[in-house]
Amino acid sequence: MNLFDEDMPRSPTENGNMGQEPRIDRRTWLTGAASLVGATAAGLLAPAWLPAEEGESARPTHVPGRSPSPYGVRAQGETIERLTLATHSLTPHQSLHGIITPSALHFERHHNGVPLINPDRHRLLIHGMVGRPLMFSMNDLVRFPSVTRTLFIECSGNSGHEWKGPAGKTVQDTHGLMSTSEWTGVPLATVLSESGVKPEALWVLAEGSDAAAMTRSLPLAEVLKNALLCYAQNGEALRPEQGYPLRLVIPGWEGNTCIKWLRRMKLGTAPFMTHEETSRYTDLMPDGTARQFTFVMEAKSVITSPSGGQRIEPGFVEIRGLAWSGRGAVRAVDISTDGGRIWHPAQLQEPVLPHCHTRFRFGWRWNGEEVLLQSRCTDETDYVQPTRAALVAARGVNSSYHYNAIQTWKVDQAGQVRNVQV
Ligand code: CO
């Protein structure tokens, strides 16, 4: 089995529901119903949740609506979903707006399933090279001074199948292993200082309480800068699949370092060389050596609309997408409609936050000719998102992780959008 494969979406042929968007609009409902019950007197059946077509009950201004509810749900008929695989699910970026991913659509990656954890019994142990080992309950942790930050989390395997060629059909396939949430928690530095970290300690092991006991070794000086012990996501408790009740979040670093269901942090002098950081999460270079401890997710962007599987009409089209950088804030996004020869600056939607998705827009008129749409991100360090050719020249095609090349969507004369590489 290819170990790396677990961190990336399967190829489209392995997924029955890829490529075909399961969007259900009224027309689909009606035509679908008509084909099923064509012999009925009406010939058409509205979905059960829609009111009758005629009469008083069809008029929302004429009949009282429903009562308040204790926990909201989206409108019936709104059906966008994560695409679920054995160990992952992918965010449907082609259907989302703004920068916040709804918690229910935040991508997932589990190494052995989502554990069921009683928050009253959950503990975080700090031990190893510390003055005094400490054990914290969730109530203890929530009492510390907290901060809230809006941050992307990107799996290092996001776009990983694109190393070998244009694999994903949709942007959900190619870029669905990333999401953005507003995270609230306690700075890791605050909690570690309670234990008195010894000066010799240079690395810290973070361990989850899932059935994989997922672990990563992290360089202490780096994570002390801005890592958070998070207990809330988008204003409420973490979702179980996002690490409930406690998750380490390290701004801009590959998602696997943001240990979910966090239960233990051990201070030491060197990396702990655990299973996950030796068998997996290294990057094989063309000369046979491997890069290890490649934590930062480099600048990247993608056009989410129009994107693979969509169809556009001639005339005005707003090109929309997301840009981000693990090194800080996005400085600029440029758009090309000719495969990268001429670039035009896109508008960046405020706020432009460090280590966070930035929404970009570009007003465009499609004249019906074949085009190659691309976006290119430049971050605040002046790092420029590479072309595929430049990325492959530097890293070869043996890597499974850290694919951040410019994405190309080809629009044919029929307006159909497809994933290609140029
Ligand atoms: Co890495």
209-223 confidence digits (pLDDT tens): 999 999 999 999 999
Query: Can you give the pLDDT at residue 384?
Result: 98
Mean pLDDT of 71-83: 95
- Higher pLDDT: 23 or 72? It is 72
- Whole-number Å distance, alpha carbon 400 to ligand 1 midpoint, is 9
* Tens-digit pLDDT profile for residues 377-414: 999 999 999 999 999 999 999 999 999 999 999 999 99
Ligand 1 centroid from CA 295, angstroms? 5
214: nearest Cα among 178, 181, 250, 248? 248
| Distance in Å, CA 291 to ligand 1 centroid | 8
State CA 255 to chain mean position distance: 9
What percent of the chain has a predicted confidence (pLDDT) above 70? 88
**Burial (Cβ within 10 Å: 0-12, 13-18, ≥19) of residue 144:** middle
What confidence tier does 19 reach under pLDDT thresholds 50, 70, 90? very low
pLDDT per residue as tens digits for the range 339-374: 999 999 999 999 999 999 999 999 999 999 999 999
pLDDT at 45: 64
The average pLDDT across 127-143 equals: 98
What's the gap in Å between 208 CA and the centre of ligand 1?
19
| C-alpha of residue 376 to centroid of ligand 1, in Å | 21
Is the separation of the CB atoms in 195 and 126 below 8 Å?
yes
Identify the pLDDT of residue 146: 98
Fold match, 108-288 / 300-420: no
Would strands 178-187 and 203-208 be described as parallel, antiparallel, or unpaired?
unpaired
Task: Write down the pTM of the prediction.
Answer: 0.88
- CATH fold, domain 300-420, is Immunoglobulin-like (2.60.40)
Q: How far is the CA of 402 from the centre of ligand 1 (A)?
A: 6
pLDDT given for residue 97 in this prediction: 97
Q: Does domain 108-288 have CATH number 2.30.130.10?
A: no
CA–centroid distance, 241 to ligand 1, in Å, is 22
Q: How confident is the model at residue 25 (pLDDT cuts 50, 70, 90)?
A: very low
CA distance linking residue 202 with residue 190, whole number of Å: 17
In the reported structure, the alpha carbon of residue 245 is separated from the centroid of ligand 1 by a whole-number distance in angstroms of 25
**In the chain, what are the domain boundaries?**
108-288, 300-420
Least reliable range by pLDDT among 3-7, 202-206, 310-314: 3-7
Q: Could you tell me the distance, in angstroms and rounded to a whole number, from the CA of residue 403 to the centre of ligand 1?
A: 10
Sheet holding 262-268, edge to edge: 134-137, 123-128, 262-268, 203-208, 215-219
Mean pLDDT on 34-59: 59
